[in-house]
């Protein structure tokens, strides 16, 4: 009810301004909010998720809003993407609403305050949801040196994260998606796996590793990527990030804006990649589905197509926070 009243006001603002205001309000008001989480546990990656509905990376890049977001009913929250050093991201404006399509285009560019700030924000507070940390590379780091950035952030967040997600699929950092090429991905995962084994030995506990991929992958590359996931003991696949395709935006003036497209306009591509990877992976490696999920029916379809968990972002903006528990209760 409250969101239905405030949504017209928020949608009258610039999208990024509305994003910041709504999250600031949530964080300010969270002590007054009831804790309404649907408990329907799901076990994957050696973790128990209170329910199958998560928040996708990108909404809370610096873990500034965990207290407020934690009251909305999520079974898990993924923060980031976070890079070794803080960076401002791309020039504004960099978020565009496509209300008719219930979609967004964003070209944020990994804007964040850096990994040290994120860890400070997470602190030592106990959580009743699973926390994922999504990691990326700095814009200034050449793609052929990306392993250095990923390794630095991975090592720093290892003790704080419940799982760590490697983001090599954002379209808003030039060259980043080249890391999805088989040879580059082999080198990246091999390097992370060596670091992972050392950290497991040092700390005497394991942190599951997830990989987030693009919906724009050539489907011929999927078998090779699936084999690399098995070879390097990746615990989970997140499918998908945003798309650079515009075939679903015929006649939409904003289609010319650069950036990643999310929301209902991404739905079919997200479904297709989920199905294709599930056909290769089966039950060997669980899949988190994200992209165009805005209803209990769509979330249920993703489980039927092979996902174990789902994540929300754009659907949350158009449908409101009540979407979390409505999906969690229906699954």
Rg, C-alpha atoms of the chain: 18
Q: How far apart are CA 119 and CA 265, in angstroms?
A: 34
Q: How far apart are CA 76 and CA 45, in angstroms?
A: 13
Backbone angles phi, psi at 235, to 5 degrees: -90, -20
Q: How far apart are CA 107 and CA 105, in angstroms?
A: 7
Please name the residue that has the structure tokens 């991201």.
89
Show the tokens assigned to 206: 């394991």
Q: Which residues pair with 55 in a beta bridge?
A: 77, 312
Show the tokens assigned to 233: 């003991």
Show the tokens assigned to 200: 């497991």
Q: How far apart are CA 288 and CA 209, in angstroms?
A: 12
Burial 72-107 (b: 16+ CB within 10 A, else e): bbbbbbbbbbbbbbbbebbeeebbbbbeebbbbbbb
Q: How far apart are CA 270 and CA 273, in angstroms?
A: 5
Q: Which residues pair with 135 in a beta bridge?
A: 82, 166
- Known catalytic residues are 170
């Amino acid at each position: 009810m409250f969101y239905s009243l405030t949504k017209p006001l928020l949608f009258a603002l610039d999208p990024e301004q509305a994003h910041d205001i709504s999250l600031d309000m949530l964080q300010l008001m969270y002590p007054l909010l009831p804790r309404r989480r649907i408990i329907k546990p799901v076990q994957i990656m050696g973790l128990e998720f209170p329910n199958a509905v998560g928040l996708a990376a990108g909404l809370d890049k610096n873990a500034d809003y965990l207290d407020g977001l934690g009251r909305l009913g999520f079974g898990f929250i993924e923060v980031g993407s976070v890079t070794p050093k803080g960076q401002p991201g791309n020039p504004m404006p960099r978020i565009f609403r496509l209300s008719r399509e219930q979609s967004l285009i964003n070209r944020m560019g990994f804007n964040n305050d850096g990994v040290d700030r994120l860890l400070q924000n997470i602190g030592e507070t106990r959580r009743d949801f699973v926390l994922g940390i999504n990691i990326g590379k700095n814009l200034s780091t050449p793609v052929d040196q990306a392993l250095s950035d990923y390794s630095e952030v991975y090592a720093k967040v290892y003790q704080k994260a419940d799982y760590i997600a490697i983001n090599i699929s954002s379209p808003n950092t030039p060259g980043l998606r080249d890391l999805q090429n088989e040879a580059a991905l082999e080198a990246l995962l091999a390097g992370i796996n060596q670091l992972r084994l050392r950290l497991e030995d040092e700390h005497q506990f394991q942190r599951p590793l997830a990989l987030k991929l693009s919906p724009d992958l050539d489907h011929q590359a999927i078998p090779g990527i699936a084999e690399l996931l098995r070879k390097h003991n990746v615990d989970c696949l997140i499918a998908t990030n945003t798309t650079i395709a515009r075939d679903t935006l015929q006649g939409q003036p904003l289609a010319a804006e650069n950036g990643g497209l999310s929301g209902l306009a991404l739905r079919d591509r997200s479904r297709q990649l989920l199905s294709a990877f599930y056909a290769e992976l089966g039950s060997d490696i669980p899949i988190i589905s994200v992209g165009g999920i805005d209803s209990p029916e769509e979330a249920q379809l993703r489980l039927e197509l092979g996902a174990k968990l789902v994540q929300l972002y754009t659907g949350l903006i158009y449908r409101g926070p009540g979407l979390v528990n409505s999906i969690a209760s229906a699954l």
